[in-house]
Structure 1
């Protein structure tokens, strides 16, 4: 029977391991007293005026399908925003696609552009879905390690070493989940030069791009020669606290987007109508909300990272997103054991760094997108735990 089960499943699916995060989420759901630093989800509720826009859409009966591309009004707002932020122009009619979250966008990019055997370079540690989406598309994920001494930002010289004749794409998470790294402009320029020299595509996941602290943020699509070879992926989940609305978008040259639409229209049809109308409201009137949440994340992060370092858990200052990635290797246990013991003994949930790639071993990811007082209590519990086990 076990052999039959294995043979029934597609080989690509068998290749992909279950998410290392899911195991901890399942346990957390059975423990009501847990302080969860595991889920990368804002603790803010979607701002009231954005919620009301979605409610109004339903109340007024706008419950039909939209264009496969998404509502033209939303695409126009996204186009105008990208022009303001990056000085890059995308045609709302042919170069923007509204997706069901950024997750769908990453999957579409891989399935549209990657042939069996194509290699995709991706940061390690990196978001858990990257390797899986590459594998589902029949590609080969090529992890490029990042290091604490470089603030975990992926470097062009390390990418260059990984390029082979089979390389087709560089996949970036900028800012990075789980490390909070932001790639500096000068490094992005070197990566762009590599992409042009080797005729590579770039997919850039920029869902945390509004949550950047004390540093410049640059989209690689805005660099010379890169718009035509970049698939820009972004959405509303993090900056606008709209995770459950599931609205993202892809910006790319028209011939790429038209091909992506083939998959999107047969598998998804279109993103939800009410969520799209909420996203329109977010772009038109949500800037103040973004600024307020950004500033609060920055305040929480500063306190929490300082606290971790004070406890002897060395942690780089995250330049973006809302994750701390402290080193726990000196405690005398693996990152998986650390996370499991901390959960059951002190009711604090973190995610093992190895869930995000081999270079994450010895680290844990802590999401500081929860309330300030809970973060303070989490630090007290972590301190008690570290004192108990530290060699």
Structure 2
């Protein structure tokens, strides 16, 4: 195998995907999806819905295509969607934005995060604080940008950070504090005290807060509270979200960044040389989606809460201990009582399709090498599937309890 130099190596290493022979290994998601296909297992691993989004939103995309909205959109996004995002932030959170300067449309939240990190990191001495376990692209993008990842552990079963550990992680080298709330993979919603501490620390150390809020409308115990609404936070915060999770359109890849104009301009300076622009007819459709009535958003959260509860019942009946998610697609369960001696969550998940006909993701896939031992028996299951699929998974998992 050729030794190919380049940034790919540190990116793969940052994501924990550099194999011992120096090759880039496949992600755990690709591996588990492959297992699901080979075994016919119910796939509760990867977090995408198995139902389409609202019919009127799909119709809006078709109408935009028929109307000829098929060429490049403006680099910042189509004006209708820029305005719709600004209206959404005002409607739900009371945040006032200039759609022409303080909103940027991206190829999903993943590009928004990558462009933001590449734009705002400038030195190998820069540090990015994240909560661990973390969405895998965070570590990869921090490594690609050449910065240092600093993690704050979230521990079973409540997954709220320890305030002393959070304070110790943020210092004068902290460039960004990256906050995923509601959180993937744990399903936790951070407390008001945590949000307040993040703002205080960012202000004290001249850091920028970057929020990943893609599950903002999938909160189960009251409305979502963006950090940008906290006192003193607006000038320090870039907020990122997307349409995929809220409207079950993950394949459209329509996301956005909002915040102070100078920070958004910095992200645009990088983003325009990544995708430049994307998904023109889908941008028009999501502009319509963001204007759906409150009943849609309330119903989406209520439906997913019911699925979370159904999944939890099946997991408990199978012998798992379960952390009750407060938001997001995901439920974390402890498989310690179901694991063979000397094995961990990754081993468990690799054998689960054959043992029970279900696919899940080990939480170790979302952790640094140094901390994987803290999550060695924890497994993430996705509840964003049809009710009958979740019920079938529960029936299959019952085989574990029988065994």
TM over 0.5: yes
Given candidates 257, 276, 284, the residue that maps to 1:269 is 276
Structure 2's unaligned 5+ residue stretches are 18-25
Matching of residues 115-134 of structure 1 within 5 Å: 115-117=122-124, 118-134=126-142
| Paired residues of 2:186 and 2:325 also in contact (CA < 8 A) | yes
Q: What is aligned with 1:382? A: 397
2:367 corresponds to 1:369: no
1:19 matched to which residue of 2?
27
Out of 353, 365, 375, which is 1:343 matched to? 353
Which residue of 2 is the match for residue 356 of structure 1? 366
CA contact (8 A) 2:45 2:360 kept: yes
Q: Tell me: CA distance 1:258–1:30, structure 2 relative to 1, closer, same or farther (3 Å).
A: same
| CA 155–84 in structure 1, closer or farther in 2 if over 3 Å, else same | farther
Look up the match of 2:167: 160
Counterpart of 1:313 in structure 2 is 320
Structure 1 residues 167, 386: closer, same or farther in 2, change over 3 A? farther
- Aligned twin of 1:78: 85
Indicate the residue corresponding to 1:280 in structure 2: 287
- Within 2, Cα distance between the matches of 1:344 and 1:299? 28
RMSD: 1.8
Give the length in aligned residue pairs. 384
What residue is the counterpart of 2:21 in the other structure? none
Alpha-carbon contact 1:20-1:355 (below 8 Å) kept: yes
- Residues 114-263 of structure 1 aligned to structure 2 (within 5 Å): 114-117=121-124, 118-149=126-157, 151-263=158-270
How far residue 286 of structure 1 moved from its aligned partner, in angstroms, is: 5.6
Question: Cα deviations across residues 64-106 of structure 1 (Å, max 9, x unaligned)?
Answer: 2121000111111111111122222111011100001111111
SS of residue matched to 1:370: coil
Secondary structure of 1:81's aligned partner = helix
Name the stretch that deviates more: 190-199 or 219-228: 190-199
Q: How far apart are the structure 2 equivalents of 1:80 and 1:8? A: 42
1:112 matched to which residue of 2? 119
Equivalent residue for 2:110, pick from 97, 103, 115: 103
State which drifts further: 91-100 or 109-118: 109-118
Distance 1:14 1:84, change over 3 A: closer
Residue 253 of structure 1 and its aligned partner are, at CA, apart by 1.1
Cα distance per residue 1:102-139 (max 9 Å; x no partner): 11111111101112321111111111111111111111
- Inter-CA distance 387–200: structure 2 relative to 1 (3 Å threshold): farther
Q: TM-score scaled by structure 1?
A: 0.93
Query: Secondary structure in 1 aligned to 2:390?
Result: helix
